[in-house]
Structure 1
Amino acid sequence: MRLALFNQGRLGVVDGDTIIDVTDQVGSPSTGAAGALHHYIETLAEGTGPRLVPSRGRRVPLSEVTLEAPLPRPGKIIGAPVNYLDHKAEMDYPTSIADLGVFLKANSSVIGPGQAIVLPYSDKRTDQEGELGVVIGRTASRVSAEDALDHVFGYTCLLDITVRSGEDRSTRKSFDTFTPIGPWVVTTDGIPDPGRLDLRCDVAGETRQRTNTADLIFGVRELIAYASSVMTLYPGDVIATGTPAGVGPLAHGDRVVVEIERIGRLEVSVDGSQATSYASRPGDRRS
């Protein structure tokens, strides 16, 4: 099942080129900043969530609605640095996720399909990183890799946008608009094996990244096991699984597309019209 938010927070089941409004089956669109899908995932984890019946909902053409980030404010976003060997070689990193562990991104950095990545600096490179996103469905603490997928609700497309400057990863990756997610979340019944998905990322019409999740250093199972050994994972949390080789600079006017097998296509734009110099940032001591 493909679940999306649309038209100011309504929850829908995507079926071909239509979306079926099931908002009334899970409550109302005013379920807080986390959104109706996050609320639904939490109720399922509590054992009180309803069984969605798409046949009871109003069907609308996808072309007539505005899709939004399916999880506009996740509890937390966990990133996996250097989780493909080809990206490790590309960036000339001496270490990988096995040495670095995971990092956190601000949940305020999320945007949805059709929105714009806003470049903060005119003189610092900002790169795209196309990734598989994992949505947690059940509380996970110190789970084994063997049991990890039992704690997953579904999967989505994700971009981990990154400024190439000197700050900590969590700073460089947490600017507003730096985590596009969508266009929907595909539940686990639609993706029995997240370790064998083709992924492609295009920028300005050219393919920059192409991989299969089989090439992850820490696969989805290992990522969940590792992350849950550090911090408790809650329903609606999102894990960004890492990016392959092919990261590169974004420019004003670019279109960025991430497409993942069995999930879908996430497309956003790039806006550099308000970018300023790096030295003008608050707290700079050199001026």
Structure 2
Amino acid sequence: MKLVRFGDLGQEKPGLVDADGTIRDLSGIVDDIAGDVLTPAGLQRLRDIDPASLPAVGGNPRLGAPVGQVRKFFGIGLNYRDHAEETGLPIPEVPIVFVKATSCISGPNDAILAPADFKRMDYEVELGFVIGSPAKRVSVEDALDHVAGYCIGNDVSERSLQKGGPGEWVKAKSYDTFGPLGPWLVTADEIPDPQGLSLTTDLNGERMQTGNTSTMIFPVAELVSYISKYMTLLPGDVVVTGTPPGVGMARNPRVFLKPGDELVLRISGLGEQRTTIVAES
């Protein structure tokens, strides 16, 4: 299934995308794509519904992030060997886990805000996964059973704020709109191997990033297992899993985002994001 949330900011309704690409309104069935809806039982309930029995959504509604009520939002640093090498940093021995504020989550095509004092904004296409059933100290072998589905994430970062060390990453990556997710959440049964997906980023029509999740240092199963050693992961928690090479700060010359720039992010099987950088007034 492809699950979506559509409508005005803060008033999103739950939906699913049928085989013809039409959004079907789920608001008569569930309140949101969140919490228990993401558990195995909750997803099975949605699978049992005939999409044709649901109201079709007309027009071209705004898409919000495909999961609501996110309690924890994590990122993984330097999780592609070639990205770590391009930054000149050591290859991590264990996953580098950092927090992004949940208030930075935005829709896949929403504008990304550029504050006047942020001069080194950067893009990072990333595979995101959403937890479906509680995970506490799970094994690598069982870890994927706890994943509800996958989506595109853009770990937007203000690089100047990372100079203070790892503890500063939360500030660099948490400004409003710095966490676009979507367009939809593709349930895990449709992505049998999350380690075989291609990722790309285009900036103003020029290809900047090309990668494949097969080159992740710590694959999704290892990340679920590792993080669950230190805290219980709950339905709706989101993790974006690192970015392939080609980020702006590692290019020569460096390329940072500016108002008017247009980004297109794609991951095979997960759709695309199209966002514009807008100066914050």
Is 2:127 the counterpart of 1:132? Answer: yes
Whether the 8 Å CA contact 1:72–1:111 is kept in 2: the answer is no
The CA distance in 2 between the partners of 1:128 and 1:272, in whole Å, is 16
Unaligned runs of 5+ in 1: 29-35, 275-287
Q: Aligned residues: percent identity? A: 43
Whether the 8 Å CA contact 2:65–2:184 is kept in 1: the answer is yes
Q: Partner residue of 1:186?
A: 186
CA, structure 1 residues 14+201, in 2 after alignment: closer, same or farther (shift >3 Å)? same
Whether the 8 Å CA contact 2:4–2:17 is kept in 1: the answer is yes
Selected match of 1:81 from 71, 77, 84: 77
Q: Partner residue of 2:214?
A: 214
Q: Partner residue of 1:21?
A: 25
Whether the 8 Å CA contact 1:41–1:153 is kept in 2: the answer is no
1:250-265 aligned within 5 A: 250-265=257-272
Alpha-carbon deviations, 1:140-182, whole Å to 9, x = none?
Answer: 0111111110000000000001111224111111111110001
Q: Partner residue of 2:54?
A: 57
Instruction: Give, in angstroms, the shift of residue 47 of structure 1.
Output: 9.5
What is the number of residues matched between the two proteins?
264
Q: Partner residue of 1:277?
A: none
For the residue of structure 1 that corresponds to 2:57, the secondary structure is: strand
The CA distance in 1 between the partners of 2:155 and 2:43, in whole Å, is 32
Instruction: Give, in angstroms, the shift of residue 113 of structure 1.
Output: 2.3
Q: Partner residue of 1:142?
A: 137
Instruction: Give, in angstroms, the shift of residue 65 of structure 1.
Output: 2.0
Alpha-carbon deviations, 1:253-274, whole Å to 9, x = none?
Answer: 1111111111111111111354
Alpha-carbon deviations, 1:179-210, whole Å to 9, x = none?
Answer: 00010100011111101011111111111111
Unaligned runs of 5+ in 2: 249-255
Whether the 8 Å CA contact 1:140–1:233 is kept in 2: the answer is yes
Instruction: Give, in angstroms, the shift of residue 71 of structure 1.
Output: 2.1
The CA distance in 2 between the partners of 1:40 and 1:256, in whole Å, is 33
Instruction: Give, in angstroms, the shift of residue 11 of structure 1.
Output: 1.2
When normalised by structure 1's length, the TM-score is 0.86
The CA distance in 2 between the partners of 1:171 and 1:122, in whole Å, is 13
CA, structure 1 residues 169+204, in 2 after alignment: closer, same or farther (shift >3 Å)? same
Two-structure CA RMSD over aligned residues (Å): 2.0
When normalised by structure 2's length, the TM-score is 0.88
